Amino acid sequence: MRKLKLQIQMTIDGFVAGPNGELDWMWTSAQPDESMFRKIAELAETSDTILLGRKMTREFCDYWENVADNQPDSPEYSFAQQMVNMRKITFSRIQKEIKGRNVEVENGDMVAAVKALKSQPGKDILVYGGADFVRSLINENLVDEYYIFTNPVAIGNGLSIFKEKKLLELQKSIAYKNGKILNLYLPV
Protein backbone atom coordinates (compact mmCIF):
# COMPACT_ATOMS: atom_id res chain seq x y z
CA MET A 1 0.00 0.00 0.00
CA ARG A 2 1.34 3.39 -0.95
CA LYS A 3 1.77 6.05 1.73
CA LEU A 4 0.33 9.54 1.58
CA LYS A 5 3.10 11.92 2.66
CA LEU A 6 2.42 15.53 3.56
CA GLN A 7 5.31 17.93 3.00
CA ILE A 8 4.55 21.43 4.20
CA GLN A 9 6.21 24.61 5.44
CA MET A 10 4.87 26.01 8.72
CA THR A 11 5.59 29.01 10.96
CA ILE A 12 6.60 28.47 14.58
CA ASP A 13 3.11 29.64 15.56
CA GLY A 14 1.48 26.92 13.46
CA PHE A 15 0.39 28.63 10.23
CA VAL A 16 1.00 27.38 6.69
CA ALA A 17 0.06 30.68 5.04
CA GLY A 18 -0.93 34.19 5.97
CA PRO A 19 -4.62 35.11 6.37
CA ASN A 20 -4.93 35.67 2.59
CA GLY A 21 -2.66 32.82 1.57
CA GLU A 22 0.59 34.82 1.77
CA LEU A 23 3.78 32.78 1.68
CA ASP A 24 6.35 35.59 1.87
CA TRP A 25 7.40 34.47 5.37
CA MET A 26 8.79 31.26 3.88
CA TRP A 27 11.76 33.04 2.32
CA THR A 28 12.86 35.20 5.26
CA SER A 29 16.22 33.42 5.59
CA ALA A 30 18.95 34.95 3.44
CA GLN A 31 20.94 31.76 3.92
CA PRO A 32 19.88 28.99 1.51
CA ASP A 33 20.55 25.47 2.73
CA GLU A 34 21.55 22.96 0.07
CA SER A 35 21.06 19.99 2.41
CA MET A 36 17.43 21.02 2.98
CA PHE A 37 16.82 21.24 -0.75
CA ARG A 38 18.38 17.78 -1.18
CA LYS A 39 15.99 16.42 1.47
CA ILE A 40 13.01 17.89 -0.40
CA ALA A 41 14.25 16.34 -3.66
CA GLU A 42 14.88 13.01 -1.91
CA LEU A 43 11.34 12.96 -0.58
CA ALA A 44 9.97 13.73 -4.06
CA GLU A 45 11.99 10.83 -5.50
CA THR A 46 10.09 8.40 -3.25
CA SER A 47 6.83 9.47 -4.89
CA ASP A 48 5.26 9.35 -8.33
CA THR A 49 2.07 11.33 -7.71
CA ILE A 50 1.36 14.77 -6.22
CA LEU A 51 -2.01 15.73 -4.76
CA LEU A 52 -2.98 19.40 -4.77
CA GLY A 53 -5.96 21.47 -3.81
CA ARG A 54 -7.60 23.50 -6.57
CA LYS A 55 -6.54 26.90 -5.22
CA MET A 56 -2.84 26.00 -5.23
CA THR A 57 -2.59 24.12 -8.52
CA ARG A 58 -2.33 26.99 -11.00
CA GLU A 59 0.48 28.77 -9.11
CA PHE A 60 2.32 25.47 -8.49
CA CYS A 61 2.20 24.44 -12.16
CA ASP A 62 3.06 27.92 -13.47
CA TYR A 63 6.10 28.20 -11.21
CA TRP A 64 7.64 24.79 -11.90
CA GLU A 65 6.81 24.82 -15.62
CA ASN A 66 8.50 28.22 -15.93
CA VAL A 67 11.67 26.99 -14.20
CA ALA A 68 11.73 23.78 -16.29
CA ASP A 69 11.11 25.62 -19.57
CA ASN A 70 13.08 28.84 -19.13
CA GLN A 71 15.71 28.52 -16.40
CA PRO A 72 18.20 25.73 -17.25
CA ASP A 73 20.85 27.39 -15.05
CA SER A 74 18.60 27.51 -11.99
CA PRO A 75 19.60 25.31 -9.03
CA GLU A 76 15.93 24.22 -9.05
CA TYR A 77 16.04 23.08 -12.70
CA SER A 78 16.25 19.29 -12.20
CA PHE A 79 13.69 19.43 -9.39
CA ALA A 80 11.41 21.52 -11.62
CA GLN A 81 11.61 18.91 -14.36
CA GLN A 82 10.64 16.27 -11.83
CA MET A 83 7.65 18.36 -10.63
CA VAL A 84 6.48 19.00 -14.19
CA ASN A 85 6.80 15.35 -15.22
CA MET A 86 5.11 13.87 -12.14
CA ARG A 87 1.43 12.97 -12.20
CA LYS A 88 -0.53 15.68 -10.41
CA ILE A 89 -4.10 15.20 -9.23
CA THR A 90 -6.08 18.26 -8.28
CA PHE A 91 -9.19 17.87 -6.19
CA SER A 92 -12.00 20.27 -7.05
CA ARG A 93 -15.75 20.30 -6.63
CA ILE A 94 -16.20 23.03 -9.24
CA GLN A 95 -13.54 22.82 -11.95
CA LYS A 96 -13.49 20.05 -14.51
CA GLU A 97 -10.14 20.97 -16.06
CA ILE A 98 -7.04 22.84 -14.90
CA LYS A 99 -4.31 23.77 -17.33
CA GLY A 100 -0.89 22.26 -16.62
CA ARG A 101 1.31 19.38 -17.68
CA ASN A 102 0.38 15.98 -16.27
CA VAL A 103 -2.53 17.49 -14.31
CA GLU A 104 -5.74 15.53 -13.75
CA VAL A 105 -8.80 16.88 -11.98
CA GLU A 106 -10.70 14.68 -9.54
CA ASN A 107 -14.29 15.78 -8.92
CA GLY A 108 -15.48 12.70 -7.05
CA ASP A 109 -15.45 11.78 -3.40
CA MET A 110 -12.04 12.73 -2.01
CA VAL A 111 -11.82 9.95 0.58
CA ALA A 112 -12.71 7.21 -1.91
CA ALA A 113 -10.35 8.66 -4.54
CA VAL A 114 -7.39 8.89 -2.14
CA LYS A 115 -7.99 5.39 -0.76
CA ALA A 116 -8.14 4.06 -4.33
CA LEU A 117 -4.87 5.84 -5.20
CA LYS A 118 -3.17 4.45 -2.10
CA SER A 119 -4.17 0.91 -3.07
CA GLN A 120 -2.70 1.20 -6.60
CA PRO A 121 0.82 -0.03 -7.32
CA GLY A 122 3.57 2.56 -7.52
CA LYS A 123 5.66 4.87 -5.40
CA ASP A 124 4.25 6.92 -2.55
CA ILE A 125 2.01 9.98 -2.96
CA LEU A 126 3.00 13.53 -1.95
CA VAL A 127 0.72 16.30 -0.78
CA TYR A 128 2.00 19.88 -0.92
CA GLY A 129 -1.18 21.87 -0.20
CA GLY A 130 -3.16 24.09 -0.04
CA ALA A 131 -4.30 24.60 3.49
CA ASP A 132 -8.01 23.75 3.08
CA PHE A 133 -7.27 20.62 1.06
CA VAL A 134 -4.60 19.42 3.49
CA ARG A 135 -6.94 20.05 6.44
CA SER A 136 -9.55 17.85 4.72
CA LEU A 137 -7.03 15.02 4.28
CA ILE A 138 -5.93 15.31 7.91
CA ASN A 139 -9.51 15.38 9.20
CA GLU A 140 -10.22 12.16 7.26
CA ASN A 141 -7.06 10.48 8.68
CA LEU A 142 -5.62 9.95 5.19
CA VAL A 143 -2.10 11.28 5.85
CA ASP A 144 0.43 8.54 6.71
CA GLU A 145 3.54 10.68 7.23
CA TYR A 146 3.85 14.38 8.13
CA TYR A 147 7.04 16.15 6.94
CA ILE A 148 6.70 19.57 8.55
CA PHE A 149 9.37 22.20 7.92
CA THR A 150 9.10 24.64 10.81
CA ASN A 151 10.32 28.10 9.83
CA PRO A 152 11.93 30.44 12.38
CA VAL A 153 9.24 33.08 11.96
CA ALA A 154 5.92 33.87 13.62
CA ILE A 155 3.19 35.66 11.66
CA GLY A 156 0.53 35.96 14.36
CA ASN A 157 -2.42 35.07 12.16
CA GLY A 158 -3.01 32.85 9.17
CA LEU A 159 -4.22 29.56 7.75
CA SER A 160 -3.82 26.39 9.77
CA ILE A 161 -4.05 22.78 8.64
CA PHE A 162 -5.10 21.60 12.09
CA LYS A 163 -8.60 22.49 13.29
CA GLU A 164 -9.03 19.68 15.79
CA LYS A 165 -6.89 17.62 18.14
CA LYS A 166 -4.45 15.35 16.27
CA LEU A 167 -1.97 13.13 18.11
CA LEU A 168 1.30 12.65 16.27
CA GLU A 169 4.48 10.81 17.20
CA LEU A 170 7.82 12.44 16.40
CA GLN A 171 10.05 10.07 14.41
CA LYS A 172 12.95 12.31 13.43
CA SER A 173 14.13 15.93 13.46
CA ILE A 174 16.70 17.60 11.25
CA ALA A 175 17.92 21.15 11.96
CA TYR A 176 19.17 23.18 8.99
CA LYS A 177 21.64 26.07 8.99
CA ASN A 178 18.92 28.46 7.75
CA GLY A 179 17.04 27.94 11.02
CA LYS A 180 14.37 25.64 9.62
CA ILE A 181 13.68 22.31 11.31
CA LEU A 182 12.20 19.29 9.56
CA ASN A 183 10.11 17.13 11.86
CA LEU A 184 8.78 13.79 10.63
CA TYR A 185 5.63 12.75 12.49
CA LEU A 186 3.46 9.65 12.21
CA PRO A 187 -0.18 9.51 13.29
CA VAL A 188 -0.73 7.83 16.64
Query: CB of 178 within 8 A of CB of 36?
Result: yes
The CATH number given to whatever domain includes residue 117 is 3.40.430.10
Count of the separate structural domains present in the chain = 1
The neighbour count for residue 136, using CB atoms within 10 Å, is: 16
pTM of this structure: 0.94
**Does any domain span residue 186?**
no
Cβ neighbours of residue 69 under 8 Å, at least 6 residues apart? none
> pLDDT 10s digit of each residue in the chain, 188 long?
999 999 999 999 999 999 999 999 987 655 678 899 899 999 999 999 999 999 999 999 999 999 999 999 999 999 999 999 999 999 999 999 999 999 999 999 999 999 999 999 999 999 998 999 999 999 999 999 999 999 999 999 999 999 999 999 999 999 999 999 999 999 99
**Does any domain span residue 65?**
yes
**Does any domain span residue 181?**
no
Q: What gap in Å lies between CA 83 and CA 50, rounded to an integer?
A: 8
The b-or-e profile of 68-96 (16+ CB within 10 A means b, else e) is: beeeeeeeeeebbbbbbebebbbbbeeee
**Does any domain span residue 136?**
yes
Q: How confident is the model at residue 32, as a pLDDT?
A: 72
Q: Which helix (H) or strand (E) holds 5?
A: strand 4-11
**Does any domain span residue 187?**
no
The neighbour count for residue 21, using CB atoms within 10 Å, is: 15
**Does any domain span residue 73?**
yes
Q: Domain range holding 144? A: 4-23+30-176
Q: What gap in Å lies between CA 162 and CA 15, rounded to an integer?
A: 9
**Does any domain span residue 154?**
yes
**Does any domain span residue 61?**
yes
